[in-house]
Amino acid sequence: MRISELAQASGVAVATIKYYLREGLLPAGRATSATQAAYDDSHLQRLRLVRSLVEVGGLPLAKVRAVLDVLEDPGPDPYAAVASALAALPPYVSNEPPHRRATEALDAIGLAHEPDSPAVAQLEAALVGLEAAGRPLDAGALGRYAEQIAVIAQREVASVERDRDSAAPDQLADVVQDVVLGTILVEPVLLALRRLTHAALFRERHPQADGG
Amino acid sequence: MRISELAQASGVAVATIKYYLREGLLPAGRATSATQAAYDDSHLQRLRLVRSLVEVGGLPLAKVRAVLDVLEDPGPDPYAAVASALAALPPYVSNEPPHRRATEALDAIGLAHEPDSPAVAQLEAALVGLEAAGRPLDAGALGRYAEQIAVIAQREVASVERDRDSAAPDQLADVVQDVVLGTILVEPVLLALRRLTHAALFRERHPQADGG
């Protein structure tokens, strides 16, 4: 298909597609003349992936490129590949280790972790913010959150492992992609569900409130 | 205390504090001379709240102001106050209703919702992104997520209600603040726990991987 058709099929403007081509986020099409190129379904898929990472994931383009690089060439160690892809995802927390509150809290609830992982920095920033706002989260409350999240995470990891067991070794990239997309695209689902459940519970308890 | 002491106590640079004063995010101090002002603990508290909203919540300053406005003057209807404060929180999703996928999915799992709420728009964007990435989330999977999130949300709402039952009517602002901060500051905790649990489960199942 032509670039105009690719734009129509994806809902992404031609100018944006050209920008992605220049930035190397989208591979070049097959040249059909000096000024035209043909694109196929692989371009459409890639374009949708880039848009999901930008719009749903909130990634800046430099980070989109980092994620795509890992997806394209995950290397021999799936754990290292997943870790570098996850490190490219927001939030971009700038605090430096040691993350005392986070590591103490994780030790208290018995969740094994690497002290310098981005998620520990993210947890530290949130715990510091809660403390600063006068609402510190104690290990008991964190542990109760961790219990529910563990049910979710165990189901997700089991499902990825099932997919992998049935995958050929050269499909490692697919598994890494599964983990990365599952992380970044499911996060807003969880947060939206929490907000919607809060609203539903609140309305249930205060039926006179009509939402303003 | 002086502005330099406020800076030291809060860890926020003097220039940033002056910027917040100019923007009205921080009330002026008590003038002690033509060029100096005195600040107290209420300024320190407010400064920490602003920093939490910016750094942990990722809010732009215009949205910080919108949240502070609601916290300062929640009005007579707590539901309307909470709804407008929550509407100021990220993510800022630009899609327009009707949110067909989200409303159908929420109807399928039986979660009551207001079709034009920001959380429905957020869910729609995530579901569209998952579909675009070739990983559509069916009602069954969404329902399983919703079950665990409901356990979390029910506990949170019960705790806010307990606080409110013991609060005087003029402490409504505190309850609204609780809900807003609970939403924005606990979200990164949940996401960090999910990523950490994924990593821990992955390491457990692949003990040869050492994290790269």
pLDDT per residue as tens digits for the range A158-177: 887 777 666 665 566 677 77
Q: What is the CATH number of the domain that holds A6?
A: 1.10.1660.10
The reply to whether A99 falls in a domain is: yes
Whether residue A125 sits in one domain with residue A177: yes
CA distance A8 to chain B (A): 14
Residues of A in contact with B49 (CB under 8 A): 132-133
Contact A27, A1 (CB under 8 A): no
Whether residue B80 sits in one domain with residue B13: no
The reply to whether A85 falls in a domain is: yes
CB-CB under 8 Å, A57 with B195: no
Chain-centre distance for alpha carbon A15: 26
- Helix residue ranges per DSSP H, chain A: 3-10, 14-23, 41-51, 61-72, 78-87, 100-109, 118-132, 139-165, 172-205
The reply to whether A67 falls in a domain is: no
Of B84, B72, B182, which Cα lies nearest the Cα of A126? B182
CB-CB under 8 Å, A197 with B150: yes
Query: Residues A80-86: contacts with CB within 8 Å, 24+ apart?
Result: A80/B209, A80/B211, A80/B212, A81/A172, A81/A176, A82/A176, A82/A179, A82/A180, A82/B202, A83/A117, A83/B199, A83/B211, A83/B212, A84/B212, A85/A176, A85/A179, A85/A180, A86/A118, A86/A119, A86/A179, A86/A180, A86/A183, A86/B195, A86/B199
Work out how many CB contacts closer than 8 A connect A with B.
267
The reply to whether B210 falls in a domain is: no
Whether residue A32 sits in one domain with residue A80: no
Of A26, A59, A163, A197, which Cα lies nearest the Cα of B152? A197
Whether residue B181 sits in one domain with residue B199: yes
The pLDDT assigned to A209 comes to 47
CA distance A200 to chain B (A): 6
pLDDT band for position A13 (50/70/90)? very high
Residue of A nearest to B159 (CA): A141
Of A197, A91, A196, which Cα lies nearest the Cα of B185? A91
Q: Which of B56, B85, B101 is the last residue of a domain?
A: B56
**In a structure prediction context, what are the per-residue pLDDT tens digits for chain B, which is 212 residues long?**
999 999 999 889 999 999 999 999 999 999 999 989 999 999 998 898 888 888 877 788 888 998 888 888 877 777 777 778 888 887 777 778 889 999 999 999 999 998 888 899 989 988 988 887 778 898 999 999 999 999 999 998 887 777 666 666 556 667 777 777 888 889 989 999 999 998 888 778 766 544 43
- In angstroms, the CA B119 to CA B125 distance is 10
Average pLDDT over residues A46-68: 85
The reply to whether B73 falls in a domain is: yes
Whether residue B161 sits in one domain with residue B69: yes
The reply to whether A90 falls in a domain is: yes
Whether residue B162 sits in one domain with residue B109: yes
Element (H or E) spanning A37, and its range? strand A37-38
Question: How many Cβ atoms sit within 10 Å of the Cβ of residue A37?
Answer: 15
A94 by DSSP, 3-state: which?
Answer: coil
The pLDDT assigned to B167 comes to 62
- In angstroms, the CA A23 to CA A26 distance is 8
- Exposure string of A128-140, with b = 16+ CB inside 10 Å and e = fewer, is bbbebbebebeee
Whether residue B128 sits in one domain with residue B31: no
Of B136, B206, B134, which Cα lies nearest the Cα of A82? B206
Looking at this protein, which amino acid is placed at residue B102?
A: A
Whether residue B195 sits in one domain with residue B111: yes
- In angstroms, the CA A70 to CA A174 distance is 11
- Closest residue to A79, CB basis, from B56, B146, B212: B212
- In angstroms, the CA A89 to CA A53 distance is 9
Q: Which of B16, B41, B56 is the last residue of a domain?
A: B56
Write out the residue range of the structural domain in which residue A16 sits: 1-56
pTM of the prediction?
Answer: 0.82
Residues of A in contact with B51 (CB under 8 A): 129, 132
A31 by DSSP, 3-state: which?
Answer: strand
Whether residue A87 sits in one domain with residue A124: yes
Whether residue B113 sits in one domain with residue B77: yes
Residue of A nearest to B191 (CA): A187
CA distance A158 to chain B (A): 9
Whether residue A196 sits in one domain with residue A96: yes
Of A18, A30, A17, A56, which Cα lies nearest the Cα of B127? A56
- In angstroms, the CA A112 to CA A131 distance is 23
The reply to whether B212 falls in a domain is: no
CB-CB under 8 Å, A149 with B148: yes
Whether residue B70 sits in one domain with residue B43: no
The reply to whether A69 falls in a domain is: no
Q: Which of B29, B56, B83 is the last residue of a domain?
A: B56
Contact B196, A120 (CB under 8 A): yes
List, as one string, the DSSP characters of A166-183.
Answer: TS-GGGHHHHHHHHHHHH
Cross-strand partners of A37: A31
CB-CB under 8 Å, B112 with A203: yes
User: In percent, how much of chain A has pLDDT > 90?
Assistant: 42
The pLDDT assigned to A212 comes to 38
Residue of B nearest to A159 (CA): B141
User: In percent, how much of chain A has pLDDT > 70?
Assistant: 92
Backbone CA torsion sign across A112, A164, B188, B57: positive
- In angstroms, the CA B194 to CA A151 distance is 10
Overall number of domains in chain B = 2
CB-CB under 8 Å, A189 with B145: yes
CB-CB under 8 Å, B122 with A192: yes
- Closest residue to B198, CB basis, from A125, A153, A185: A153
